[in-house]
Structure 1
Amino acid sequence: MDAKPRNVHGAWHGYCAVVDQAQDDVDRIVAAWRRERPDLDVGPLAIMSRLSRLSRRLDGARRQAFADSDLEPWEFDVLAALRRAGDPYRLTPGELLRETLVTSGTMTNRVDRLVARGLVLRTASSGDRRAVLVSLTPEGQRCVDDALTRLVGLEHEFLQPLDDEARERLVVSLRSLLGPLEHYRP
C-alpha cells in the first residue's frame, strides 16, 4: 500500500491511509476497506464508524448512570422533560409527547408506570377539569437529579482528552452534521 493518501474520483482519502500508522480499530477497518475496495471512497467510515462506536459506548454509560439511580432510560427521559420545564415541574401529556417523541399510547403507559412508582402525579388542570397535568414528585426530582449528576460526571470523563477549544469545535462540527439529519427517518 502506498504511503500517500489516494484520491478516487475527487473524493477525500486523507485520513490514516497507511495501516502502519493506524491508531485504533476504525483506522484498521478503513485501511482494510481501502485495500479491498480502492475504487470506493470509504473516507466517511473514519468519521461515521467512530460516531457509531461512541454512540454505543455512551448509550451503555447512560444506561448504567440511570440504573445506578434506579431509573430506566425512558423513565429518565420523562422525568428530565418535567425537570427541564422548571418549577412547578409539570407538563401536559401532549407537551411530554413533543419532548420525548413517543406516541400517546406509549406516554399514557409510561405516566401510569411512573405514577405507580411515586415519581410523578397526574392531576386535573385547575383551568380545565378535562385537561390533565403530569407533575414531578419530590422523589421523582431526586431520582432525575441524581441520574443527571451521574451522567454529566461520566460525560466529563469521556471528554477529558479534549481541551475547551477542541470541545467547542466538536460542538460546531456535530451541530452542522446533525442539523440536516434531525428529521431524517429511514
Structure 2
Amino acid sequence: MENRAKRAADEWNEQRPDIDANVMALVGRLLEATQLLERDWLSPLAAQFELHPGEFDVIATLRRAGAPHALTPTALYERLMLSSGAMTSRLDRLERKGLTERVPAPGDRRSILVRLTPAGLALIDKLLPLHVANERQALAALTPAEQAQLDALLAKLITGLHKS
C-alpha cells in the first residue's frame, strides 16, 4: 500500500528542500488515519444500524450519561464539540427514528432534555459491544503497548493544540 504522506514529503523534499516536510508528513498521517477510521471502520458499522456516525455519537453520549440517559441539548453539543445547528439536525433525525425524544426538564419549564427512548437504549446497548470490537480490530496493527503509547502521545498533542 502506498504511503501518501511519505510520497508527499519526498516530493516536497525534492521541490523545496528548505522546508521541514517531515512535520507535514506527520500531520498528513494523522489526517489520513482519521479519514480511514471514519470511512472504512466507523461509518460502515453505523450504517448497518441505519445511523450516521454522528448519530451514534449522540446516542452513545446519552447512554454514558447514566440513567435517565438524558442531557440538555447544550450539554450534548458541548460534549460532542458541535455547533448547536449541527446538533439540532442530528436530534431531529434521531427523534424521527424513534431513538430519542425531547422532554421538559424537571423543575425548569423553559428547558428541555434530550432522552434516549427505550428503542434508543436497546439499540446502543446492542451496538456498543460491536463498536468496541470494531475499534479493537481497527487498531490491531498496533500492540497493546503501542496503543497505550499512541494514546498518551495523542493526549499530549491535543493538550498542546488547545490554545489557552
TM-score by length of structure 2 reads: 0.84
Change (3 A) 1:43 1:129: same
TM-score by length of structure 1 reads: 0.75
Pick 1 or 2: higher relative contact order, CA cutoff 8 A, min separation 6.
Answer: 2
Q: From the CA coordinates, give the structure whose radius of gyration is larger.
A: 1
Q: Report the Cα distance in structure 2 between the residues aligned to 1:135 and 1:63, rounded to whole angstroms.
A: 23
2:49 equivalent in structure 1: 69
Q: Name the one with the larger helix percent.
A: 2
Percent identity between the two aligned chains: 36
Residue 19 (structure 2) pairs with residue 40 (structure 1): yes
Alignment of 1:1-186 (within 5 A): 24-60=3-39, 61-182=41-162
- Superposed CA RMSD in Å reads 2.3
> How many residues end up aligned between the 2 structures?
162
AA aligned opposite 1:117? K
Mapped contact 1:120–1:136 kept (Cα < 8 A): yes
Change (3 A) 1:108 1:162: closer
Mapped contact 1:71–1:143 kept (Cα < 8 A): no
Change (3 A) 1:168 1:131: same
| 5+ residue gaps, structure 2 | none
Shift of 1:69: 1.7
